[in-house]
């Protein structure tokens, strides 16, 4: 059963991956056709073609290796000195092996002179290239908001899950009382498992964050109002000073950092609670911010990845993962001992994170990524605008093909990094904790 569930999880991720890729390329395709650019090919995957169908002037198909996708647009680059115009691929990996000036010259047909990508105004080219990553962002946001508002996330509540019998510094690596440990304020006050704290020092508390902040700010006498057996009771407690986990500005615990603060001594019950639209948007914003920070931090992750892949180094939970690693995690999700709705929510969040990564990665202003083509179009627009303002001759289209040597270097770095992640995902994968 474990093997079957793992295979099911991997297959589900593969399907989600194909849908994400097809959705991405649909953004390029639809906007290219909107602006009259001829698109001879729309493909999901690489390698041998499994299925294809011609509809109108475009061939639609699925290839054997679900590791990407592409559309082919006529006139991706302006003509070279010999005046030749070629078709190019939006795929960064396929574009590597095509020569920027000679591939697919035979695909030109009479009338294509007015349907070339490079002849479109820069703002139209920006839209065409941005549309692909934007589709991934839309899918990521839609999935995230759907999960957050219908299913929710695990959160601590003001209900008591357990009472600590004594005061133990959280910096100590133990959870059992030792001789000489003072009785915890919660135990002394008579707090019980199942009590719901509704007020602290007379101030109503509706969520764990508010209650936790009140407790941390209080050392000494305090009143705790609880609901017990349908009735409210007021307990008298004397909060102790203790070393507790330090939190950042967002209320998140900072690992291995402790500060002196007020201490009551109980464990809060954890429940899965749906979020409001506003809270969901805020949390989505945090997710995007964390994604940007992860992209920026990728170079610093290489030493740990290398040690995890080729040495006995630890594979950290925040280590980058590739398609293989994400598929393995999807397989592990299906084997968790949890209700079906929990597994579905976790899988959907994995897919949302993957789509967000596709958006952020493709927006890097480097060829052969979409962001590189966007940067080229913006530079052309700026250059032509400056020439117009100073009444200089129009410099014409910016020849992105001249940057192909840089693109090959960038693509080579990406391939090496991808292979490193692949090896790490196989020999020392990130696992669900």
Give CA–CA dist 347/147, Å, rounded: 10
Q: What is residue 168's DSSP assignment?
A: -
CA 105 to CA 83: how far, in whole Å? 11
How far apart CA 22 and CA 253 sit, in angstroms, is: 39
Tokens linked to 372: 């590189």
**Pairwise CA distance, residues 325 & 424, whole Å:** 8
Six-digit token string for 323: 């398609």
pLDDT of residue 30: 95
Q: What is the pLDDT of residue 105?
A: 45
Active site residues: 25
Calculate the dihedral angle through the C-alpha atoms of 126, 130, 132, 133, rounding to the nearest 10 degrees: 160
Predicted TM-score of the model (pTM): 0.81
Distance, in Å, from the CA atom of 15 to the CA atom of 5, rounded to the nearest integer, reads: 15
Full pLDDT tens readout for the chain, 433 residues: 678 878 888 888 888 988 999 999 999 999 999 999 999 989 998 888 999 999 989 999 998 887 788 898 888 777 655 555 444 555 554 444 345 445 434 566 777 778 888 889 999 999 999 999 999 999 999 999 999 999 888 888 899 999 889 888 887 877 788 888 889 999 999 999 999 999 999 899 988 888 988 999 999 999 999 999 888 999 999 998 888 888 877 667 777 788 888 899 898 988 888 988 998 999 899 889 988 988 888 888 888 888 888 888 888 877 888 888 888 888 888 888 878 888 888 889 989 999 999 999 999 988 878 998 899 899 989 988 998 898 888 888 787 777 777 777 888 888 888 888 888 888 888 877 6
pLDDT at position 402: 72
C-beta separation of 196 from 227 below 8 A: yes
Is 42 in contact with 57 (CB distance < 8 Å)? no
Instruction: Return the residue matching tokens 């590189």.
Output: 372
DSSP state for residue 249 in the 8-state scheme: T
Q: What is the pLDDT of residue 34?
A: 94
Distance of alpha carbon 102 from alpha carbon 91, whole angstroms: 17
The two three-digit tokens of residue 369, written as one number? 């990524």
Hey, what are 346's tokens? 């976790």
* Residue 266, both tokens: 């109980």
Helix (H, G, I), strand (E, B) or coil at 167: coil
């Amino acid at each position: 059963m474990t093997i079957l569930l793992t295979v099911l999880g991997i297959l589900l991720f593969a399907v989600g991956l194909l849908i994400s890729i097809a959705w991405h390329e649909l953004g390029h395709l639809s906007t290219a056709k909107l602006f009259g650019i001829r698109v001879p090919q729309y493909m999901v995957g690489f390698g041998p073609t499994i299925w294809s169908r011609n509809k109108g002037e475009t061939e639609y198909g699925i290839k054997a290796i679900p590791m990407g996708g592409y559309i082919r647009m006529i006139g991706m680059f302006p003509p070279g000195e010999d005046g030749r115009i070629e078709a190019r691929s939006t795929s960064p990996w396929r574009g590597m092996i095509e020569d920027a000036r000679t591939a697919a010259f035979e695909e030109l047909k009479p009338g294509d002179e007015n349907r070339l990508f490079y002849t479109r105004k820069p703002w139209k080219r920006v839209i065409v290239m941005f549309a692909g990553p934007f589709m991934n962002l839309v899918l990521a946001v839609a999935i995230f908001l759907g999960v957050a508002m219908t299913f929710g996330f695990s959160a601590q509540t003001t209900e008591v899950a357990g009472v600590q019998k004594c005061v133990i510094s959280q910096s100590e690596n133990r959870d059992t009382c030792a001789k000489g440990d003072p009785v915890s304020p919660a135990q002394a006050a008579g707090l019980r498992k199942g009590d719901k704290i509704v007020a602290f020092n007379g101030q109503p508390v509706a969520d764990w964050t508010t209650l936790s902040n009140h407790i941390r700010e209080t050392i000494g006498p305090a009143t705790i109002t609880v609901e017990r057996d349908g009735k409210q009771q007021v307990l008298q407690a004397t909060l102790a000073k203790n070393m507790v986990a330090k939190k950042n500005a967002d209320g998140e615990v900072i690992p291995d950092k402790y500060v002196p603060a007020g201490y009551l001594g109980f464990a809060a019950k954890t429940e899965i609670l749906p979020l409001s639209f506003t809270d969901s948007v805020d949390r989505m914003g945090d997710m995007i911010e964390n994604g940007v920070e992860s992209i920026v931090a990728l170079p610093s992750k290489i030493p740990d990845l290398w040690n995890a892949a080729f040495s006995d180094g630890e594979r950290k939970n925040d280590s980058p993962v590739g398609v293989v690693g994400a598929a393995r995690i999807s397989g592990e999700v299906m084997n968790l001992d949890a209700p079906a709705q929990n597994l579905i929510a976790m899988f959907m969040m994995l897919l949302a994170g993957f789509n967000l990564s596709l958006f952020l990665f493709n927006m890097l202003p480097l060829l052969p990524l979409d962001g590189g083509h966007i940067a080229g179009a913006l530079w052309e627009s700026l250059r032509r605008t400056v020439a117009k303002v100073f009444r200089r001759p129009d410099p014409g289209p910016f020849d992105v093909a001249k940057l192909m040597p840089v693109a090959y270097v960038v693509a080579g770095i990406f391939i090496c990094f991808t292979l490193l992640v692949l090896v790490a995902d196989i020999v020392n994968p990130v696992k669900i904790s």
